[in-house]
Chains A and B, each alone.
Chain A
Amino acid sequence: DSGVTQTPKHLITATGQRVTLRCSPRSGDLSVYWYQQSLDQGLQFLIQYYNGEERAKGNILERFSAQQFPDLHSELNLSSLELGDSALYFCASSGVPGRGVSTDTQYFGPGTRLTVL
């Protein structure tokens, strides 16, 4: 158990819909990262938040957005869903207080499997 939790574990929805994925980082971690992993593909970095602020952006579509709340949990919002958005979405956390924004070690949650029909 990495200490990172993600909900829901599975999500099935229809094209055009909007969903929200939730992540709670490990206790004390300030950074949260979101990744997308399509079937048999590698990890595609989407976005990073550090202590509530966006720190880095990867290949995140404009239809997708994220935020990190004061209690450090994060949500990834996916809208106008398309069939190609079906994938595993992982959240990871890192960051020991006092060590700045070094990503160092990222600990991954179990993922949310999104299926768009």
Chain B
Amino acid sequence: GQQLNQSPQSMFIQEGEDVSMNCTSSSIFNTWLWYKQEPGEGPVLLIALYKAGELTSNGRLTAQFGITRKDSFLNISASIPSDVGIYFCAGQLLLASNYQLIWGAGTKLIIKP
């Protein structure tokens, strides 16, 4: 089936550091989404990307839709304690006349005190 490879699996960083994570696939997607999940909560949409090459920012977050449409990255600049959580990428494609989301396994962000 369709798969997304999300890396890294986890990150241990110091407050103030920049963070970068990415998702790759052998499939072509028409939309990329980045979600954040905090403990005990449902995932919340951070950024949506709709066009190849698109670069979109949301505060300290920046994400890009890869030119090949097979990958995307998310950067977080100057991390702060509230950035802790699990970040999921999701790619949308058309399968059997239905748009479906394929999910990455998540990147767990931990900020060292």
* Size of interface on A: residues with Cβ below 8 Å to B: 24
Contact, CB under 8 Å: A103 / B42: no
Contact, CB under 8 Å: A42 / B106: yes
Mark B92-107 against chain A: 1 for CB-CB distance below 8 A, else 0: 1001111111011110
Q: How many CB-defined contacts (below 8 Å) exist between A and B?
A: 59
* Given A42-B103, A42-B106, A43-B88: A108 touches B42 (CB 8 Å cut-off): yes
Contacts of B98 in A (CB 8 A): 48, 50, 55-56, 101
A58 → B minimal CB distance (Å) = 9
Contact, CB under 8 Å: A103 / B100: yes
Contact, CB under 8 Å: B99 / A101: yes
**Chain B interface mostly:** strand
For B45, give its contact among A43, A45, A105, A111 (CB under 8 Å).
A105
Contacts of B105 in A (CB 8 A): 42
Contact, CB under 8 Å: A56 / B45: no
For B99, give its contact among A4, A42, A103, A111 (CB under 8 Å).
A103
Contact, CB under 8 Å: A110 / B42: yes
Contacts of A90 in B (CB 8 A): 42-43
Contacts of A107 in B (CB 8 A): 45
Contacts of B100 in A (CB 8 A): 45, 48, 56, 103
For A42, give its contact among B31, B40, B104 (CB under 8 Å).
B104
Does A62 sit at the interface, judged by CB under 8 A? no
Q: Which of A19-51 contact B (CB under 8 A)?
A: 42-43, 45, 48, 50
Q: Which of A90-117 contact B (CB under 8 A)?
A: 90, 92, 101-111, 113
Beyond A102-B92, A103-B101, A106-B101, 10 extra complex contacts between A and B, CB < 8 Å: A42-B103, A43-B43, A50-B98, A56-B95, A103-B100, A107-B45, A108-B42, A108-B43, A109-B42, A113-B40
In the complex, the 7 A-B pairs of residues with the closest C-beta atoms, listed nearest first: A108-B42, A42-B105, A103-B99, A102-B99, A108-B43, A42-B106, A43-B103
